[in-house]
Amino acid sequence: ANKDAMINDMNNIGANAYQYRIRTKETGGGGGSYLGYRIDDKLSQNENGRYRIIASNDSVLIIEGKSMNSEYSKIRIKLDLLGRLKDFKYYGAFND
């Protein structure tokens, strides 16, 4: 259940990041780039996990989520230039 909840959280972060990417710089967006995106405080941590950006460039954002329920369990995903989550990697208890 925690893994599914974290994936849902990461979907929400991905949607927020994609909206940033497609907004113009004049309106506070990335102007076609994920560079400069920061996870909003409301999305960065909750009862499911803690989330952070590992790397970003114009077309890819890598997000990592660490479980609040299992110290060594985490999920790492890539958000592509079209806002799709892909390349899911699971660690710890999520890897079973």
pLDDT at 95: 85
Residue range 52-60: mean pLDDT, rounded = 91
Dmax (CA) for the chain in angstroms is: 45
CA-CA-CA-CA dihedral for 74, 46, 39, 11, to nearest 10: 70
Distance CA 54, CA 8 (A): 18
pLDDT at 56: 86
Residue range 82-92: mean pLDDT, rounded = 94
Whether pTM > 0.95 for this model: the answer is: no
Indicate the pLDDT class of residue 77, thresholds 50, 70 and 90. very high
